[in-house]
A and B are shown apart, each in its own frame.
Chain A
Amino acid sequence: MKRLISILIALILAGAAGAAELRVGLLRLNDDPRFDDEFAYARIALRPLGDVRTAVRLGISDMQVLTQARGITPVLTEASVDQDGLIEAAKQMISDGVTHLIVDLPAANVDALANALSDSQATILNTTAPDDWLRLKCHANLLHTAASDRMIADALVQHAVSHKWDSVLVLRGKTERDAIRADAFSQAAARFRIRIVADREFDLSTNPSMREQNNIALITGGRRDYDAVFIADEIGEFSRYVPYQTALPRPIIGATGLVALEWHWAFERYGAPQVNSRFETLAIDGRRMGWQDWSAWIATRAVLTAFAKTRSNELTDVNALLRSPKLRLDGSKGAQLSFRPWNGQLRMPILISTHNAVLNVAPFEGFLHQTNTLDALGFDESEFACD
């Protein structure tokens, strides 16, 4: 038995000898406002605070046998920096030989980075910024593995249409991201003639003079009926109290209740349980794999797959495959994935989920598209124009 193991190690080492190094960078903010755990009320973390580093490591480990067979050694370079040091850190990585930069950053930072690196050879992979305006910029050096706001909205609307929810009450928070989410939902709803009966801004205070905005029964009340309540609440503080307290007994979607996500720990099909259990084994705190982890994992796999499956060591050939429909990436969601050529967005199925179950996978049956049904989610080529 021992002898066998040593033979194996010898084989692995033999494969690694003379291997080409592939430098992948991972860049984050150490003061990312989206993951500020101090913000959480009474120390209850309302948003996933996971570090996508685990997911990137899982991606590298999942691909290890393949990269070894191709004689490629992936080397991960990481940096977690302040807002001010971001571009400098990225440039440092690139001068150290990083060709693909996986970023876990808010949209404004991704945009600034893509501009700053436009004359380098590096490709940036956006894993956690869903903003559609960032996709409209059409940066040539930028790919997106986070689903866009519009993809998430389209997935929810497909569920609503499938269940004959004809009218929806929209509640939105006061942040910029809440406005973006609520507008994306309203646009997606309009395409399928779902009526928005009212669009109201909620308030987190207990100020009696603002009770129309901060009292759940009042903000969900009024004379008009609705089939569901959509909430845009990036922080999550308001939305968690809305279910079961609405003026009419109606389901809640969007920020809580029924949500649309890239990934869910309870997904049972297409090899997802194995991905989840590998992630939980690797995560130091044993936490479950979240949507942002999937996006970072698939970004890593996309880069390594392009390197391993290109029969050439030229970076231009690798990047050509990375952006080609021939990439045929497996994201354990039952569909072959590739990047949309018009805006660099990864086309993907979206999971319609509750807190502990995946109810369905969008695109739903019957929601068709003339070339690729996955393009029924998000801005399609014909309705898309770069800024």
Chain B
Amino acid sequence: MRNLLLAIFFSLLPLSASALDTGRIFVSNEKSHDIYVFDADYNLIKKIETSRRPRDMKFNAARTLLYVACGDDDIIDVIDVETLEIVDGIPTGPSPEVFDFSPDESQIYVSNEEDSMLEIIDVEVRITVHDVPTGAEPEGVIVVPDSDTLYVTSEVADMVHVVDRVNGVVTNNIIVGTRPRRFIITPDTNELWVSAELSSEIYVIDRTTEEITEVLEFLPPGFRPEDVTPVGMALTRDGKIGLISLGRANHVAVIDALTKEILAYVLVGNRAWSVALTRDEKIAVVANGLSDDITLIDMETYRPIRSIPVGRVPHTVVIDD
């Protein structure tokens, strides 16, 4: 056993050592079919032409590769983070949108909104090993670290499916608000947050009891409840500060993630969706889907400091650091 642990330890070492920590910012653009790459000083260094309609993006654990789900070509493009070239592609079912990896990165879980399935793809052999039927239009997917559980939303059925990813079965359904979109899990893994875009709410779910414990609502000044369409979320590593993008209300809400108290509303671009934090957590980067730009938020003052143009309909922001 100890030998095995040692073996795992050493096998992990070179991986973590190979992370580049470039600080590069990647923005996928749904309608211009490309990814804009910025360096740590926000200079545009490359536009990577991808397959059609790039949306969700995830790094591998070593942060050497970036995976991009391309909805109109039914493929996940694989990009080398150092060379910024597409080096591989993993075929999926029709219209992949959001995905996550198993902790050992041997499997990818993709929501397949055309077929109402969660596809489980074996990365090594490139085939779908299992389909889990979901409610119509599955969207957000998140794998719980160190666990067999994953969660997937159904936008039409207004629910969160709890999935045993090893056996490929739905073990519970949690009914939430209208059009549930994305997830985050708190660093202590106790809470699952899900954004309900059309009922303007964030549902906080206790992962142990699988019950809703809190429903958060937002209303930035000058907007109406129905303008608030939350989608993207981010948490600081200590789990103390949460960022919620409010969609057509054109703001990001900053909240105390423990007390759920609203600390600030930050004005950003049109239809703010994806939000990501830099490693030093001094800057948050927000993708504005309908103004084709990203906004940088100063996390000390909670003020927008700069907007930078990107491609058409930016979808997701990820940062390599």
Contact = CB atoms under 8 A, between A and B. Distances in A.
B195 interface: no
A42 interface: no
A66 B158 contact: yes
A11 interface: yes
Given A66-B157, A330-B156, A372 B198 contact: no
Contacts of B199: 328, 336
A168 B113 CA distance: 43
Interface in A288-309: 305, 308-309
B157 A65 contact: yes
Interface residues of A, number: 29
B179 interface: yes
A4 B175 contact: no
A328 B177 contact: yes
B178 A336 contact: yes
A271 B177 CA distance: 17
A175 interface: no
Contact of A372 (B113, B158, B226): B226
Given A69-B159, A330-B155, A62 B136 contact: yes
A271 B155 contact: yes
A8 interface: yes
Contact of B170 (A8, A61, A62): A8
B24 to A, nearest CB: 30
Contacts of A69: 159, 173, 175
Interface of A, secondary structure class, is: helix
A271 B155 CA distance: 9
A330 B178 contact: yes
A7 interface: yes
Given A62-B136, A62-B156, A1 B175 contact: no
Query: What class of interface size applies to chain B in its complex with A?
Result: 20 to 34
A65 B169 contact: no
A336 B224 CA distance: 12
B245 interface: no
Given A4-B168, A8-B170, A372-B224, A278 B175 contact: no
B172 to A, nearest CB: 9
B209 interface: no
A308 B136 contact: no
A63 B157 contact: yes
A70 interface: yes
B178 A329 contact: yes
Q: Which residue, B167, B179, B200, B224, has most C-beta atoms of chain A within 10 A?
A: B179
Nearest to A301: B156
B92 interface: no
A65 B155 contact: no
Nearest to B94: A277
A65 B198 contact: no
Nearest to B156: A62
Q: Which residue, B154, B158, B224, has most C-beta atoms of chain A within 10 A?
A: B158
A72 B293 CA distance: 45
A190 interface: no
Contacts of B295: none
A277 B159 CA distance: 21
B108 to A, nearest CB: 18
Contacts of A373: 224, 226
Interface string B111-145: 00110000000000000001001111100000000
A26 B161 CA distance: 31
Interface in B41-55: none
Contacts of A357: none
Given A328-B177, A328-B198, A336-B198, A4 B113 contact: no
A335 interface: yes
Contacts of A374: 226
A360 interface: no
B114 A274 contact: yes
Contacts of B137: 271, 274
A318 to B, nearest CB: 15
A70 B169 CA distance: 19
B20 to A, nearest CB: 37
A62 B199 CA distance: 18
Nearest to B167: A4
A64 to B, nearest CB: 8
B158 A11 contact: no
Contacts of B170: 8, 11
A4 B134 CA distance: 14
Nearest to B174: A69
B226 A335 contact: yes
Given A8-B169, A274-B114, A274-B136, A336 B226 contact: yes
Contact of B175 (A7, A62, A70, A274): A70
A25 B138 CA distance: 29
A62 B226 contact: no
Q: Which residue, B155, B157, B200, B224, has most C-beta atoms of chain A within 10 A?
A: B157
Interface string A34-78: 000000000000000000000000000111111001100000000
Q: Which residue, B134, B136, B154, has most C-beta atoms of chain A within 10 A?
A: B136
Contact of B198 (A4, A61, A70, A330): A330
Given A274-B114, A309-B175, A66 B169 contact: no
Interface in A60-107: 61-66, 69-70
20 contacts: A1-B130, A62-B156, A65-B134, A65-B135, A66-B158, A66-B159, A69-B159, A271-B137, A271-B179, A274-B136, A305-B158, A308-B158, A328-B177, A328-B198, A328-B199, A329-B178, A330-B158, A330-B178, A336-B200, A372-B226
Closest 8 CB pairs of A and B: A65-B135, A69-B173, A65-B157, A66-B157, A328-B199, A336-B198, A328-B178, A330-B179
Interface of B: 95, 113-114, 130, 133-137, 154-159, 161, 167-170, 173, 175, 177-179, 198-200, 224, 226
Given A63-B157, A66-B159, A271-B156, 11 more contacts: A4-B168, A65-B135, A65-B154, A65-B161, A66-B173, A278-B136, A328-B198, A330-B155, A336-B200, A336-B226, A373-B224
